[in-house]
Each structure stands twice: as C-alpha cells, then as structure tokens.
C-alpha cells in the first residue's frame, strides 16, 4: 500500500514544501517528478539512474577551423575557442605559443577558476613545431614538439585569476 508523505506531515500538505537541516536517508527508490533544486551538497552512494532526461551521447559542437600559415604562431583566444587550430609551419622549425593567462581570462566570457577549454592543435606543415607557454600559462610537462602531420589535444584550465594550465595529449 502506498501513502503520500502529506498524509504523515500536515504542514507539507498545506505548504507544499519540505525543508530540513537534518540528513535524510532514503532506503529505497526515490522517484522525483518535476524540477529538483539543490542548495547544498548532494552525496550519493550506490547507483544513480535517470529516466526522462534527454541525453546527447555525441553532441554536435559548433567549431571553427583556424589556419595559421607562418613559421611561428600565437593563436588568439578567439581562435582557441573556435576549437581547431591548423598550423602550416614553413621555412624551418617553428613555435606555437599559447596566450598569456591574462589574455586567456580576458577572452573567456564569465571566466572563473575551473573554466575549461578543449581544443585541438594540428601541425599540417613540413616542419616540427614546439608548443610553448606565455606568462601566466603553464604547459604540464613543459614544451611539446609536434612533428609534421601530428596533432595534440589540449585541455586548458583556469587555475586562478589570470592563470591557466594546459594539459597536452598527443594523438596519433
């Protein structure tokens, strides 16, 4: 036999809101209809499943390909936000310098510690390019040599005000 919580708590039936400052344990399945707003920390142990929430398993991203034809390049934050940088390195080995932490932060709307940008750098030139960092921007592992025809997946993370860390993953 199923009973509504309102049968046990007359206030809930009248006001429609249940609030508590005490921990609440659900020893069975909890079904929620409508919106859920959490104003504190939610700790979950065990499996969590969802139904009725649309999930996009392979989201379509609106990305822009920026092609830089130069021995040395400093992609702009707008180009990085586009998602794909193609660098045609010519006339000897070159460098690709990521922007300063200040430039990165200034170019990201609503930037905060924890903001993350995923982007791809591809060297389609005929020379090796070394990715280097500018002030306020750290490359995990130092500089990275990207040989011709290779690309690097970059995750740039805002770690403090005007300070960024980029993690480079070589993809073949």
**pLDDT tens figures, 65-109:** 999 999 999 999 999 999 999 999 888 889 999 999 999 999 999
Spatial distance between the Cα atoms of 125 and 148, rounded to a whole number of angstroms: 6
| In-domain check, residue 49 | no
| In-domain check, residue 111 | yes
> Comparing 22-36, 57-71, 80-94, 150-164, which segment has the lowest mean pLDDT?
22-36
Q: Which domain holds residue 106?
A: 64-171
Please say whether the beta carbons of 136 and 102 come within 8 A.
yes
- Count of C-beta atoms within a 10 Å radius of residue 165: 16
| In-domain check, residue 90 | yes
- Count of C-beta atoms within a 10 Å radius of residue 162: 16
DSSP label at residue 73: B
| In-domain check, residue 25 | no
| In-domain check, residue 58 | no
Q: Tell me the pLDDT band of 60, cut-offs 50, 70 and 90.
A: confident
| In-domain check, residue 27 | no
Is 94 in a helix, a strand, or coil? strand
Is the full-model pTM beyond 0.95? no
Token duo for residue 41 = 């920390």
Token duo for residue 50 = 């969802």
Spatial distance between the Cα atoms of 77 and 164, rounded to a whole number of angstroms: 12
Spatial distance between the Cα atoms of 85 and 70, rounded to a whole number of angstroms: 13
| Tally of CA atoms within 13 A in the half-sphere of 94 that contains its CB | 21
DSSP label at residue 70: S
| In-domain check, residue 8 | no
| In-domain check, residue 140 | yes
**Residue 14 in this model has a pLDDT that exceeds 80:** no
Domain CATH number, residue 143: 2.60.120
Please say whether the beta carbons of 152 and 170 come within 8 A.
yes
Task: State the total domains in the chain.
Answer: 1
């Amino acid at each position: 036999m199923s009973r509504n919580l309102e049968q046990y708590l007359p206030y809930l039936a009248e006001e429609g809101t249940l609030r508590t400052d005490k921990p609440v344990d659900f020893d069975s399945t909890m079904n929620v209809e409508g919106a859920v707003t959490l104003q504190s920390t939610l700790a979950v142990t065990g499996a969590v499943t969802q139904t009725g929430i649309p999930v996009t398993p392979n989201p379509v991203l609106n990305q822009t390909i920026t092609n830089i034809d130069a021995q040395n390049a400093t992609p702009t934050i707008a180009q990085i936000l586009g998602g794909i940088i193609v660098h045609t390195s010519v006339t000897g080995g070159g460098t690709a310098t990521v922007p300063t932490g200040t430039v990165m932060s200034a170019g990201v709307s609503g930037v905060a510690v924890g903001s993350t940008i995923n982007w791809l750098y591809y060297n389609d030139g005929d020379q090796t390019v070394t990715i280097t960092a500018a002030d306020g921007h750290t490359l995990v592992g130092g500089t990275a040599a990207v040989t011709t025809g290779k690309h690097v997946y970059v995750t740039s993370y805002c770690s403090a005000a005007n300070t960024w860390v980029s993690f480079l993953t070589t993809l073949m």
